[in-house]
Amino acid sequence: MEQQKKMEESFLRAHREFMTNLNASLDILEKDIDEVGEMAQICTDEWCKATENVLDELAKVVYSISEPRWLSDEDSLKLKCLRERIHNLYGKYKKTSTASA
């Protein structure tokens, strides 16, 4: 039983670190999208394609995360917030890419 508890604690630490790193990646991407939104005519085809690819890849990662039974309500909420954030960032990106086109 003690081994099981240690294993779950290790998984939880790894899960939290992974979620923190995903959040940091979204911070970087959001900053980039915001900066482009402030500059006229900067959404080049290359930038738009690269940004959309990054968003797609992050969405795949975030939406593929399963919620283990031992995940706390707080950690479950963080995952839900990440999914919502990806959705909102995609909307912000689409607004920026359309306005700059």
| Per-residue pLDDT tens digits for 3-56 | 888 888 898 899 999 999 999 999 999 998 888 776 655 567 788 888 899 999
Assess whether pLDDT exceeds 70 at residue 73: yes
Confidence (pTM): 0.74
**What is the Rg, in whole angstroms, of the alpha carbon atoms belonging to the chain?**
17
User: In a 10 Å sphere around its CB, with 0-12 CB exposed, 13-18 middle and 19+ buried, how is residue 83 labelled?
Assistant: middle
* Inside any domain, residue 34: no
Q: Write down the pLDDT at residue 96.
A: 81
Domain that holds residue 92: 2-28+45-100
Domains contained in the chain, number: 1
Q: What contacts 61, CB < 8 A, 6 or more positions away?
A: 22
Q: Write down the pLDDT at residue 85.
A: 94
Give the SS3 label for residue 72.
Answer: coil
Give the SS3 label for residue 42.
Answer: coil
Distances (CA, A) of 28 to 9, 12, 22, 53, 89: 29, 24, 10, 15, 11
